[in-house]
Amino acid sequence: MRAVPARGATIAAAALALGALLGVAHAVATASPAAAVGYRGAGSIPGVPDPRRAWADWALDCQGCHRVDGGGSPRTAPAIAGEVAKYLQVAGGRAYLGRIPGIASSPLSDARLAELVNWMLFRFDRRDVPANFRPYTAVEIGRLRAHPLRLQAAALRRELQRRIRARERSGAR
Ligand code: HEC
């Protein structure tokens, strides 16, 4: 007889823990984009109609490799936190972001992927987004992902990283 209430209590505790987790996830989903708000005083992230949907897409499609905080991991994927928008500052970087395998081969539609990429830039590296940034559109993402990088990805990445570091050394912002 004692096992039944004990199990009930365990289930209740698990449900509470799950509820807390979902609460945290919800807070992250809503708070993180909010933290990225402020781009030229705008009330939302440009090119992101639904930040919560973008966050959920990130969670399902990307964070398994790139980690919840964009910190990456040496075994799975590069860190994008504090880095990713730097690609927008160098020639070829904007196209690169639409053609890397993880993005180009995502199951998301062009529109959802454009939203996710725009969201990612502000969520993980708002500081480096150029002032004249034009959000990716579904059409642009569709065009880029139609030519996914394969074997060239690593070499192109090295070259873009070289441009980014050269730009940083020159003191440009
Ligand atoms: C299977 C693991 C994996 C998944 C899933 C994945 N990525 Fe990646 N991502 C990588 C790897 C590895 C690279 C390095 C480039 C390459 O070799 O493809 C990368 C590169 C990137 C880069 C460029 C960073 C750099 O410095 O080169 C961005 C931005 C990015 N991924 C975003 C995303 C987004 C957004 C998603 C979800 C739609 C995603 N990734 C899904 C593994 C992954």
Residue 71 CB: number of other CB atoms within 10 A? 14
Question: Would you state the pLDDT for residue 137?
Answer: 98
Q: Cα–Cα distance between 44 and 120 in angstroms, integer?
A: 13
For residue 119, give both structure tokens.
């969201």
Closest residue by Cα to atom 40, ligand 1, is 102
For residue 149, the ligand 1 atom closest to its alpha carbon is 18
Closest residue by Cα to atom 1, ligand 1, is 65
Q: What is the mean pLDDT of the chain?
A: 83
Name the pLDDT band for 9 (thresholds 50, 70, 90).
Answer: low
Pick the closest to residue 51 from 38, 33, 24 (CA basis): 33
For residue 154, the ligand 1 atom closest to its alpha carbon is 17
- In degrees, to the nearest 5, what angle opens at C-alpha 24 toward C-alphas 67 and 125? 40
For residue 84, the ligand 1 atom closest to its alpha carbon is 29
> Are 80 and 126 a contacting pair, CB within 8 Å?
no
Interval 100-119: pLDDT, tens: 999 999 999 999 999 999 99
Residue 104 CB: number of other CB atoms within 10 A? 19
Q: Mind listing the domains of the chain with CATH numbers?
A: 3-169 (1.10.760.10)
Question: Would you state the pLDDT for residue 75?
Answer: 85
- How far does residue 87's CA lie from ligand 1's centre (Å)? 13
HEC assignment per residue over the chain: CCHHHHHHHHHHHHHHHHHHHHHHHHHHHHHHHHHHCCHHHCCCCCCCCCHHHHHHHHHHHCHHHHCCCCCCECCCECCCCCCHHHHHHCCCHHHHHHHCHHHHCCCCCHHHHHHHHHHHHHHHHHHHCCCCCCCCCHHHHHHHHCCCCCCCHHHHHHHHHHHHHHHHHCCCC
Extract long-range pairs of 131-135: CB within 8 Å, 24+ residues apart: 131/40, 133/46, 133/88, 135/46, 135/47, 135/48
Whole-structure pTM value? 0.80
Name the pLDDT band for 22 (thresholds 50, 70, 90).
Answer: very low
Question: Would you state the pLDDT for residue 32?
Answer: 46
